[in-house]
Structure 1
């Protein structure tokens, strides 16, 4: 009885790797095959054609799937070794590599197994020595793969049981309260809802993404929560007054809990979309210190393809060097953007971050003292008039030459027409129902490996694992939400692989890559984002078609 219950659980888990509930039917032969594979089977084309007849079969229910799966015998190592002995006629399980390849590549029952696929299998399994395939060792690798497929599906079932429950009367999937989203949706990522934080304590700071060659820099933040309670982290993208498009750069935030020893553990990200277009994360946070790292996909914030025709003048010289009205407006925009706490003045940290971004140098004590002594300040903080006067002095010292001024503007993401097209401002807000959260700017830098791993993890947790062309240990995670998508390739083998991920057949889709047909190198025992995806035109239908190819 215990074995039967275990088998039922395995089949249930395998089915839920393909469908969100057992109430939904398998709708294609491919779905049917993948469900059987997650259950630890490798159905032959003949077996599949017997149970999914082209032109006749429209769907397979969960009950029918279980009934069919029971007809397939459980694979054991003795069966594999006996099969190899029968096929190759050897008692010691050793067979020449050429003979082995010839038989497998000419066997129609193996379907679309290619020579490249076979190369990868044999290389990763490490079963060839001196031109001889060790079938006994290969059998153990096959059994290990079967076990991993079952464990993968059971793990997904366990994750689902923690995050959701099935209503047996309506078969509607409902998220638990802390992950509440629209009823019936299989994932919570980027669902539109109304956020109500009336009466909650708030702390907000501005920030900005900056394109810096191949990297994206952003302000980062430290967050302190003094008592455990409901907390909301919210990211609101902003559009500059001279923005020439309606395309707002996507802005999310990833939250990490920081231990007293400085270790940072990922706890969540802004996975829900508010009705105002912002993204937020709602959870109960324990007392302690946290780090908040902003993230943008790179689908919209990309290196410009060409410079605009013409440019604005930065200075004019009518007997005396002066800043032009156009340049003064740009400087005012920059001032309000780098005034991160929004109090109308720049404190030393805000001015230092601006100076570091535009010159690569920190403001020293004596330099800050000069600023306070020679320019307009209030409460030891630089005012807008003082900020403009400082740039006026720079223009005068350079005799009207604008090269250094352009270096500063370009570092802030401006093109020659005074439009900020390679930076994207945002506002980060934290709300607490039980205490006053403390939010501070901790730096301006890339999210680095910490952010990369958290982004990949969040994608994998919200997508179904799909084996790529039945390859051992090569898995695709594809998430598609309402207004963004992601594709992660995971390589569980020890050796690196090259995978071509072709989304060029998609419609109305933008990627963070140079083009939709892109090849990634995936190191052994690692995962990488192949594509971040968004609609080119928001509000219009978009369709993602992704095909993967293993490259030798």
Structure 2
């Protein structure tokens, strides 16, 4: 996945530590290299190898703590869902891009709320109440461990300023020690994936693609690229064999679907809405529907983006038949994972403010976002939120349903119509929650769950509208639940590419096959491993033109389990109005 806002802040406190490396003094690491090196260093404080998987919530919590994240249980549950069985190192990196490390300023901000005397300390009694009765509570034993720290406690007071300094210093020291171990162990270098490379004294500071991984005909086709004597990874990689694909694509046209029935205006239509939510592990959560047709009839179905105030209509999808529905999954999946230009978020959007009397209000920007969220969860499009629709929202944001009694209280206190919540009632409900909590932190948890970033941009979700037309009867459609579809999607994508794509076998390794399929507006590749051993495939997209892929990197690597098939990458044009060339080299790592 491409870097998102916040990734620039990852490990910023450790930059000076890394720059002290003898290797990096001569050839400083790039931001991307520094990020992955720190990720691996952190990962290896918990696991023996970066190839080991995270297999439990406790392990995820531990490794995130080592990365300076100090995650809440809400955060853990967001990433480790009931469908999660394991996470790998790449999943861990994705999470670190999303979750900024706890900064000293943030720590001080939380503690200052309890500093009644504004003297940099908190009474043990006040600290005990705060830690055992508010938010995610700690046990008395855990609280005692904090209070008994000699360096930050005296005379019945907790010196939180010293504690914050100690916390940050300990994090830096732990990372420095691990980096030194990583530097000294050459075996660990060979486990690095993609751009996760360490600096090398022999590394060309401005490397180009190596001819070792380009076949002769490929070199001739791209001879105008200049000298290719030094590979970006030539000092750390040994390749057994390579295979490449080249596809030249024209500018995308905006032609309408040829499958649209000519008499569609005479068919009966029903509409519903839904949303794809991108999870931190790369999976997708989506609504599942039940459709009823009272008699045998031709059916035409379209899936289009839901036009919101902050969402550009980038998804052009009109499909009929199960095959085309499969393709819309692929298309939306690929679009969700792609980022054209990721700009760092320098300022967090303000959600609430107080007037001169101290009364709390929602900002106009936050109200606009809540209005869009209301449109997303109003699945039947009647301008009201039913209990059933509200529970889809609750399950997504908190993991719990609202029961009938709570819904009755909600209707009694907020504006409703026909026993359903109006948009104004939804606004007032969020304002009440902001008042009750006194801190917008929980509001941000809700916003992140719905796919919004700190600038209130919808970057991790794709709301859509489904229109179903039936020729001979009135169709019915109803959302029945929300579920993970990553496994189904992966299988469906692989089957589609296997059926329609071009296959190339790795020279000398007939059990390793790369399949690539051109879907006119995007290209998808999968890797099939028929062998009894896992393999690591290095992917290089450096010579592609006007392209972006869902991995967010031009160079990366994937691990393919034995007897399995996996999606390698989705590629789309950066500028849809210009021609683009997909040129990719797949190499088997020794």
TM-score between both structures, scaled by the size of structure 2: 0.52
Return 492-501 or 374-383, whichever deviates more.
492-501
Give secondary structure in 2 for the equivalent of 1:205: strand
Residue 274 of structure 2 is aligned to residue 207 of structure 1: yes
* C-alpha contact (below 8 Å) 1:206/1:337 kept by paired residues: yes
Following TM superposition, the consecutive aligned residue runs of length 4 or more in structure 1 with deviations greater than 4 angstroms are 249-255, 293-297, 301-305
Residue 581 of structure 2 is aligned to residue 543 of structure 1: yes
Alignment of 1:300-315 (within 5 A): 300=338, 306-315=344-353
- Between the two structures, name the one with larger relative contact order (CA 8 Å, sep ≥ 6): 2
State the 1:342 CA deviation.
0.4
* Aligned mate of 1:227, from 295, 298, 306: 295
* Aligned mate of 2:502, from 449, 460, 464: 464
Q: Check 1:461–1:434 CA distance in 2 against 1; reply closer, same or farther (3 A cut).
A: farther
* Aligned mate of 2:386, from 343, 347, 353: 347
- Alpha-carbon distance between aligned partners in 2 of 1:514 and 1:486, rounded to the nearest angstrom: 15
- Alpha-carbon distance between aligned partners in 2 of 1:377 and 1:335, rounded to the nearest angstrom: 14
Q: Check 1:383–1:221 CA distance in 2 against 1; reply closer, same or farther (3 A cut).
A: same
- Alpha-carbon distance between aligned partners in 1 of 2:548 and 2:316, rounded to the nearest angstrom: 12
Give secondary structure in 2 for the equivalent of 1:269: helix
Q: Check 1:450–1:423 CA distance in 2 against 1; reply closer, same or farther (3 A cut).
A: closer
* C-alpha contact (below 8 Å) 2:352/2:362 kept by paired residues: yes
* C-alpha contact (below 8 Å) 1:239/1:248 kept by paired residues: no
Bigger fraction of residues in helix: 2
- CA-to-aligned-CA distance 1:480-522 (integer Å, 9 cap, x gap): 2321110011122232222223222111111111313222222
Residue aligning to 2:60? none
Q: Check 1:478–1:253 CA distance in 2 against 1; reply closer, same or farther (3 A cut).
A: same
Residue 310 of structure 2 is aligned to residue 248 of structure 1: no
Residue aligning to 1:531? 569
- Alpha-carbon distance between aligned partners in 2 of 1:252 and 1:445, rounded to the nearest angstrom: 23
- CA-to-aligned-CA distance 1:201-252 (integer Å, 9 cap, x gap): 2222112222321233222322233433322221112353234xx5725779
Q: Check 1:370–1:360 CA distance in 2 against 1; reply closer, same or farther (3 A cut).
A: same
Q: Check 1:442–1:115 CA distance in 2 against 1; reply closer, same or farther (3 A cut).
A: closer
* C-alpha contact (below 8 Å) 2:339/2:552 kept by paired residues: no
- Alpha-carbon distance between aligned partners in 2 of 1:249 and 1:308, rounded to the nearest angstrom: 28
Residue 535 of structure 2 is aligned to residue 497 of structure 1: yes
Give secondary structure in 2 for the equivalent of 1:227: coil
State the 1:296 CA deviation.
4.5
Give secondary structure in 1 for the equivalent of 2:581: coil
* C-alpha contact (below 8 Å) 1:235/1:251 kept by paired residues: yes
State the 1:304 CA deviation.
6.1
Give secondary structure in 1 for the equivalent of 2:396: helix
Larger radius of gyration: 1
- Alpha-carbon distance between aligned partners in 1 of 2:415 and 2:575, rounded to the nearest angstrom: 45
State the 1:444 CA deviation.
2.6
TM-score between both structures, scaled by the size of structure 1: 0.56
- Alpha-carbon distance between aligned partners in 2 of 1:551 and 1:254, rounded to the nearest angstrom: 41
- Alpha-carbon distance between aligned partners in 1 of 2:339 and 2:406, rounded to the nearest angstrom: 34
- Alpha-carbon distance between aligned partners in 1 of 2:310 and 2:361, rounded to the nearest angstrom: 23
Give secondary structure in 1 for the equivalent of 2:272: strand
* Aligned mate of 1:422, from 460, 481, 487: 460
* C-alpha contact (below 8 Å) 1:335/1:384 kept by paired residues: yes
Alignment RMSD (CA, Å): 3.5
Residue aligning to 2:435? 396
- Alpha-carbon distance between aligned partners in 1 of 2:306 and 2:370, rounded to the nearest angstrom: 17
* C-alpha contact (below 8 Å) 2:338/2:552 kept by paired residues: no
Residue aligning to 1:484? 522
Residue aligning to 2:445? 407
Q: Check 1:393–1:303 CA distance in 2 against 1; reply closer, same or farther (3 A cut).
A: farther
Give secondary structure in 1 for the equivalent of 2:586: strand
Residue aligning to 1:441? 479
State the 1:541 CA deviation.
0.8
Q: Check 1:348–1:330 CA distance in 2 against 1; reply closer, same or farther (3 A cut).
A: same
Give secondary structure in 2 for the equivalent of 1:545: strand
State the 1:280 CA deviation.
11
- CA-to-aligned-CA distance 1:510-547 (integer Å, 9 cap, x gap): 11113132222222222111111111111211110121
Bigger fraction of residues in strand: 1
- Alpha-carbon distance between aligned partners in 2 of 1:224 and 1:530, rounded to the nearest angstrom: 36
Q: Check 1:335–1:437 CA distance in 2 against 1; reply closer, same or farther (3 A cut).
A: same
Q: Check 1:251–1:413 CA distance in 2 against 1; reply closer, same or farther (3 A cut).
A: farther
Q: Check 1:191–1:324 CA distance in 2 against 1; reply closer, same or farther (3 A cut).
A: closer
Residue aligning to 2:368? 329
Structure 2: unaligned runs, 5 residues or longer: 1-219, 221-237, 243-253
Return 317-326 or 473-482, whichever deviates more.
317-326
- Alpha-carbon distance between aligned partners in 2 of 1:474 and 1:269, rounded to the nearest angstrom: 28
- Alpha-carbon distance between aligned partners in 1 of 2:334 and 2:318, rounded to the nearest angstrom: 6
